[in-house]
Amino acid sequence: MNPLSQLDNGQSQKMIPLRVGFHLLFALFFLIEIFLFLTIEKPLFSTTASKTINSSLIIRTFFAEPEGCLPKDFYLTNEEALIQSYLSQASNWFLPKKRTIPFIPRRREVKYPVEEDKQPKVAIIIDDLGFVRQPTEDFWDLRIPLTFSILPWGKYSQLHAAQALDHNQQIMLHLPLEPIDSAINPGPGAILSIYSSEEVLAQLRLNLQTIPGIIGVNNHMGSKGTQNPELMRLIIKELKNQGLFFIDSMTISSSIAYKIAEEEEVLVAIRDVFLDGEGIESIRFQAKRLIDKALVQGAAIGIAHARPGVAKELANCLSLFKQAGIELVYVSELVK
């Protein structure tokens, strides 16, 4: 028999128990590691102790807590934060399903600064009457105060003025003024910046005469005209002479029409929200914006247009005003 083969057999017989021992030792270490991993607790860090930590070794911890719930002096060291982050991520799988939820006080609701004895008010203006019939006449079914602004020289301008008055609604002249884009036609009766003072007054007076029963005026377009101080002062003075108020439609944020009306002591107000400026589908959202503004300011003015579907969508939004405690009024109640 080969002595080397005998030696190999003897060594292999002695190494079998050694292999088993290594396996048992590895299993023991593995069990100990699992036991420690399952029984270890997250360290608790006191606020008092954290105050003494060097500022160069600290990080502010806010995690998912709402703003203001944690004390301003709640800090963790880098090592502590690392341990806490590791435990929260690596040990979630064995945590109990029901965990104690800490008490988080709700943020106090801020009331809008409206005087208690005054109910917030909203006035809604319907622009562009006179050129489309059915979308305008759909508004007659709404039993709420509305102010209708009628374009001069439209096919249905006088008809719609009479119908609005028959339904106990207020009417205004929707005065066409010059837009910045010269390619856009503001329509018949428009007042342009190239007109002389005589031409401006002549056109304005003709426009006012064509709509009987008006109590005020707001601008149609006019992103250029309402920035012209000479033009607007001429118009505002004539409105004052005729006892009419003015609503600045704010077709451009740099309009000075409102300021000039105040200087000339003419009753005036400004538009707050275009209800259908982004389409019929946006009316509900814009109505909520209008309500918010009324709650903050005490009053707000919205403008919609005589377009198909607007009356129906506005009717669907009436409950929003009621729920918010908003009183719907004519725009004449909001000028000052």
Q: What is the spatial distance between Cα 208 and Cα 172, in angstroms, rounded to a whole number?
A: 9
Q: Which string of DSSP letters, residue by residue, matches 226-290?
A: GG-HHHHHHHHHHHHHTT-EEEE--SSTT--HHHHHHHTT--EEE--EETTTT-GGGHHHHHHHH
In single-letter form, the type of residue at position 242 comes to Q
Higher-pLDDT residue of 89 and 177 is: 177
Using one digit for the tens of pLDDT, what is the confidence trace for 261-293? 999 999 999 999 999 999 999 999 999 999 999
pTM over 0.85: no
The DSSP H or E segment spanning 218 is: strand 216-221
Average pLDDT over residues 215-232: 98
The region of weakest confidence among 12-16, 62-66, 219-223, 267-271 is: 62-66
First to last CA, the chain: 123
Which residue spans of the chain are classified as CATH 3.20.20.370?
121-333
Q: Strand, coil or helix: what is 77? A: strand
The region of weakest confidence among 19-28, 75-84, 298-307 is: 75-84
- How crowded is residue 163: how many other Cβ atoms within 10 Å of its Cβ? 18
Q: Strand, coil or helix: what is 49? A: helix
Name the CATH superfamily, with its identifier, for domain 121-333: Glycoside hydrolase/deacetylase (3.20.20.370)
Higher-pLDDT residue of 250 and 98 is: 250
Using one digit for the tens of pLDDT, what is the confidence trace for 123-156? 999 999 999 999 999 999 999 999 999 999 999 9
Tokens for 171, please give them. 């009417």
The DSSP H or E segment spanning 300 is: strand 299-305
